[in-house]
Amino acid sequence: MRKQIAAANWKMNKTLEDGKKLLNDILSGVGSLHEHQQVIFAVPFPYLIQCNEMIKGKKNLYISAQNCHHKTSGAYTGEVSVDMIHSIDIKYCIVGHSERREYFAESNAMLAEKVNLCLAKNIIPIFCCGEPLDIREAGSQNAFVEKQLEESLFHLDQEAVQKVVIAYEPIWAIGTGKTASSEQAQEMHAHLRNVIAGKYGKTVSENISILYGGSVKGANANEIFSQPDVDGGLVGGASLIAEEFLQIIAALK
């Protein structure tokens, strides 16, 4: 069975003490996970080391960086390299989140560089893709998201691409008042898996976890995760509330 993943993206939230309390509360309530289930916490850069210590020795729990720079090193004040992330034993990194694409103008080509650097250091990229509202309203979402995969992932060989976790974010359903249904999530996830199968074959596509990132909450996680091509969620706001995120973890297949 593919990995079923509940990934928390704290974004730019929580002080260190607040974050440690949140993580402790979740760790206290999570219980044991099945072999195919994982819980990942993408915490702000200053907290990576402390949070990694907190989950040490706990099975199927991981800490992730929220971003990395697309160059190995250099005069990039304030940026964080993959080598730095690797040096503190972090196993995951979010790449291409919609907020990075929108606010920091990250291109598909730049994200391909980030993916390459992560994989070279055995850091698993959580690669985000998804369409904005105007693309969805024009009915061009499939081609738009397909291009994101093609330009950022399809240079990889079969072995490498299977290490990537994909997260689909319907940007139009985040903070717009519009809601993506579980059927719409399944439709896009199935499309992504078919696109991957067209490039690499069905066996490869069936091995890649595809997470849903469109306002997952405790109340809708069961319905969304029940879809056959949805392998968990990349969760924003609800991951900042222990009770909510515990419900989301419990909804994993």
Q: Which domains does the chain have, with CATH numbers?
A: 4-250 (3.20.20.70)
Q: Is 80 exceeded by the pLDDT of residue 177? A: no
Q: What is the mean pLDDT of the chain?
A: 95
Mean pLDDT, range 160-182, rounded to an integer = 86
Candidates 130, 102, 115, 150; CA nearest to 213 is 130
Helices assigned H by DSSP within 88-234: 98-104, 108-120, 133-137, 141-152, 158-161, 182-200, 202-206, 221-225
Q: Is 70 exceeded by the pLDDT of residue 136? A: yes
Instruction: List residues with catalytic annotation.
Output: 97, 169
Mean pLDDT, range 157-174, rounded to an integer = 94
Res. 165 pLDDT band, cuts 50 70 90:
very high
Q: Is 90 exceeded by the pLDDT of residue 172? A: no
SS3 (DSSP) at 92: strand
Q: Are 232 and 1 in contact (CB under 8 A)?
A: no
Mean pLDDT, range 21-29, rounded to an integer = 97
Mean pLDDT, range 119-146, rounded to an integer = 95
Q: Is the dihedral of CA 49, 17, 244, 27 positive or negative?
A: positive
Mean pLDDT, range 104-122, rounded to an integer = 98
Q: Are 248 and 219 in contact (CB under 8 A)?
A: no
Q: Is 80 exceeded by the pLDDT of residue 100? A: yes
The number of beta carbons lying within 10 Å of the beta carbon of residue 158 is 12
pLDDT 10s digits, 205-247: 999 999 999 889 999 999 999 999 999 999 999 999 999 999 9
